[in-house]
Amino acid sequence: CFTPALLPLYDIGNSIVVVIDIFRATSSICYGIENGAAAIIPVSKVEECAAYHGTDCLLAAERDGEVVAGFDFGNSPFAYTPEKVAGRTVVLTTTNGTHAIQLSRGAKRIVIGSFFNLTALSDWLIKEQENILLVCAGWKNKFNLEDSVFAGAVVARLKDAGYSLDDSSIAALDLYGLASDDLRKYLKKTSHSERLKKLGIEKDIDFCLNVDITRAIPVLEDEKLIKLEP
């Protein structure tokens, strides 16, 4: 597991990539797909999202934790409820998460992970028996704690299933060991928690740390994230 900046060092064409952005992009994507969104189209740039104005898509744009003016909503999981997204296609751009998805193109498969779908995702990965790369979106190409702790939670399950681990996976696993007793307490010290706290949205942090509240695994098919049919 590693940040997108290191992607060129890996053989992604031979791997399933799991994109991880716990606060909040991949949590919101998992929640939206679970709640019946027909699809979520991840785009890197605000202008690409704006190009869908005038279509029947919902347009979601976030930068530096805030909703970009002129869009329907941003990246809060609370915007991805069944009432808001069921049956709809959402076009989404976020500071790091959607960019990490785009950078992972070329992988055998790209799926989306968060604490919400930890068990469903891990069980599916174990069944697939492929090389797995856990891509932690981080913050502006830098390491962050929450994505790496989640990567460690996945690694813990893969290890139990007999997967061999590289050193970065062992590091993530050790980190998860430090956090797993009380995820909320451990992840309180993250820089993005501080950032979102300043914006008054700590409730999003708390919500994104719910474990196994969804089963859907979003998978990228062409330009759209849809529900994987195992």
Residues of this chain that interact with ligand MLT (CB under 6 A) are 21, 23-25, 62, 65, 75, 94-97, 137
Q: How far is the CB of 21 from ligand MLT (least distance, A)?
A: 5
Six-digit token string for 12: 């992604």
Among the listed residues 133, 126, 127, the one whose alpha carbon sits nearest the alpha carbon of residue 108: 133
Q: How far is the CB of 92 from ligand MLT (least distance, A)?
A: 9
Q: How far is the CB of 129 from ligand MLT (least distance, A)?
A: 30
- Toward ligand MLT, which CB reaches closer, 97 or 113? 97
How far is residue 63's CA from residue 134's CA, in Å, rounded to a whole number? 23
Q: How far is the CB of 227 from ligand MLT (least distance, A)?
A: 20
How far is residue 144's CA from residue 162's CA, in Å, rounded to a whole number? 27
- Toward ligand MLT, which CB reaches closer, 128 or 202? 202
At 138 the three-state DSSP class reads coil
- Toward ligand MLT, which CB reaches closer, 50 or 165? 50
Among the listed residues 156, 161, 158, 192, the one whose alpha carbon sits nearest the alpha carbon of residue 174: 156
Which residue is nearest to ligand MLT, using beta carbons?
A: 94
How far is residue 6's CA from residue 220's CA, in Å, rounded to a whole number? 21
- Toward ligand MLT, which CB reaches closer, 12 or 208? 208
